[in-house]
Amino acid sequence: MPEKTSIYDSAAIDRLRAELKFEPRRLRALRTRYFKKSLGVDAALAELPHGVREEFASRVEFHPLAVEQVRDSEVDGATKLVLRTAAGLLIEAVIMRTSTGRVSLCVSSQVGCAAACGFCATGQMGIARNLTPAEVLDQVVLAGERLAAEGRGVRNVVFMGMGEPFHNEAVLYEVVSVLLAPGLFHYPPRRILISTVGIPDAIIRAARRFPQVNLALSLHSVRQSVRQRLIPLAAKYSLDELRAAVAAVNKIQQNTVMVEYLMLAGLNDSTDDARDLAAWLEGLDAHVNLIPYNPINAAPHLRTTERADRDAFAEILRTAGYVTTIRYSLGADVAAACGQLVQRENRARALAQSTGFSQRS
């Protein structure tokens, strides 16, 4: 059987249209239904004339991912989608419905991650492989289709799921281009955010390529020794290099860079840490987002910062003149923190396999 063409590969789909000889406006209408309105495959195909519709449907792959599991939070507006690649690998995307009614979608860029952060469930898995552009984009469409049924849609796309986006840089750029393309998803660039563990050259390249797309840096400490302990990959990049990269991004972009700061009791959350962070930020256009630690099984030694300490930390930054927000952590009951649910699932599968039982028939 010849390989199918991915709906996410625009150039190949354009060639298929020419081969099947239907009008360009029909393809435009199909894409509007599929990408912009999230109406699903059947509604999209209905835009094609009879005769070519079946041929097109048989030659195009719409969903490279299958929905393995959907977990709606009972305490807040989070829904976790566990998705399966063709080879059976599991990844996740998290729908976050905020109280304002706006929806953000957290997407994965890799299966696993090479950064090995001790506090992160995905970091504990190691890296399996990069996702393809189609696999990243399909997360947006699958989430969009679920949301369309509620009369909502994905407003913001944030690269904060499994993986380090800049370790899959070419795919990331392809994905962002498709998200921005007027004939495809047509997202406003400011509604896209790329979060990175901090790869200085790549941050600058991304800012040049997409000057209006938002960038977030997972800083977590301004002490090299502490940062390296939390993020082993940080050993490769000095805090000075990172700071210079943020300064360069500020020159290229109008957007404020988001500095993410995971708060861990006794490790990086003292008032001295806050003052040193403020000093590190001096002269940068940055907004600080404090992240309460979401405990994972693999890191029983790490503890969440107490609320009072977190507020004191935030106050120091605000007094120093930095906009500081505290991330409201959604979906704790559905294990929505990066990689948690997939890790649990994968472990259950490994266990099932080692005991000779298969999970699915």
Residue 24 or 266 with smaller CB distance to ligand SAH: 266
How would you class 152 by CB atoms within 10 Å of its CB: exposed for 0-12, middle for 13-18, buried for 19 or more? middle
Among candidate residues 47, 92, 174, 345, the one labeled active-site is 92
DSSP-H helix ranges across 153-238 = 169-180, 200-209, 224-230
337 contributes a contact to ligand SAH by CB under 6 A: yes
Residues 6+ positions from 117 with CB-CB distance below 8 Å:
123, 197, 230, 231, 232, 233
- 23 catalytic? Reply is no
Residue 4: CB minimum distance to ligand SAH, A: 30
- For ligand SAH, which stretch binds (CB under 6 A), given 57-65, 95-103, 292-300, 352-360? 292-300
125 lies in the site for ligand SAH, by CB under 6 A: no
Helices 10-20/52-59 angle, 10° precision: 150
If binding is defined by CB under 6 A, does position 286 make contact with ligand SAH?
Answer: no
Q: Does 160 bind ligand SAH (CB under 6 A)?
A: yes
Q: Is there binding between residue 120 and ligand SAH (CB under 6 A)?
A: yes
Quick one: which of 78, 178, 259, 262 contacts ligand SAH (CB under 6 A)?
262
Restricted to residues 217-236, the positions that interact with ligand SAH (CB under 6 A) are 218
Q: Among 4, 16, 109, 130, which residue's Cα sits nearest to residue 62?
A: 4
CB of 107 to ligand SAH, least distance (A): 10
Contact segment (CB under 6 A) with ligand SAH among 14-22, 76-84, 138-146, 192-200 equals: 192-200
306 is catalytic: no
C-beta closer to ligand SAH: residue 27 or 117: 117
The verdict on 143 binding ligand SAH (CB under 6 A) reads: no
Q: How far apart are alpha carbons 361 and 359 in whole angstroms?
A: 7
| 31 vs 71, beta carbon nearer ligand SAH | 71
With CB under 6 A as the contact rule, the residue among 135, 145, 164, 174 that binds ligand SAH is: 164
Count of residues interacting with ligand SAH (CB under 6 A): 16
Tell which one of 111, 192, 291, 336 touches ligand SAH (CB under 6 A).
Answer: 291
The values of phi and psi at residue 68, to 5°, are: -90, -40
Cβ count near 23 (within 10 Å): 11
> Given the complex with ligand SAH, which of 185 and 261 has the nearer CB atom?
261
Does 130 participate in binding ligand SAH (rule CB under 6 A)?
A: no
The binding track of 308-327 with respect to ligand SAH, each residue x by CB under 6 A or -, is: --------------------
Selection from 195, 218, 220 nearest residue 305 by Cα: 220
CB 200 within 8 A of CB 207: no
Long-range CB pairs of 172-175, under 8 A, 24+ apart, other chains included: 172/109, 172/136, 172/206, 173/206, 173/209, 173/210, 174/133, 175/109, 175/133, 175/136, 175/137
Q: Does 293 bind ligand SAH (CB under 6 A)?
A: yes
Nearer to ligand SAH, 195 or 214 (CB): 195
| 239-250 burial: b if 16+ Cβ within 10 Å, else e | beebbebbebbb
Helical pair 169-180 and 200-209, crossing angle rounded to 10 deg: 20
CB of 336 to ligand SAH, least distance (A): 10
Among residues 113, 117, 120, 338, the one annotated as catalytic is: 338
Please name the amino acid found at residue 227.
Answer: R
Nearer residue to ligand SAH within complex by CB, 8 or 119: 119
Helix (H, G, I), strand (E, B) or coil at 308: helix
User: What gap in Å lies between CA 51 and CA 54, rounded to an integer?
Assistant: 6
Strands 66-72 and 78-84: antiparallel
Given 73, 104, 168, 196, the residue binding ligand SAH (CB under 6 A)? 196
Annotated catalytic residues are 92, 338
Binding site for ligand SAH (CB under 6 A): 119-120, 160, 164, 195-197, 218, 260, 262, 291, 293-294, 296, 337-338
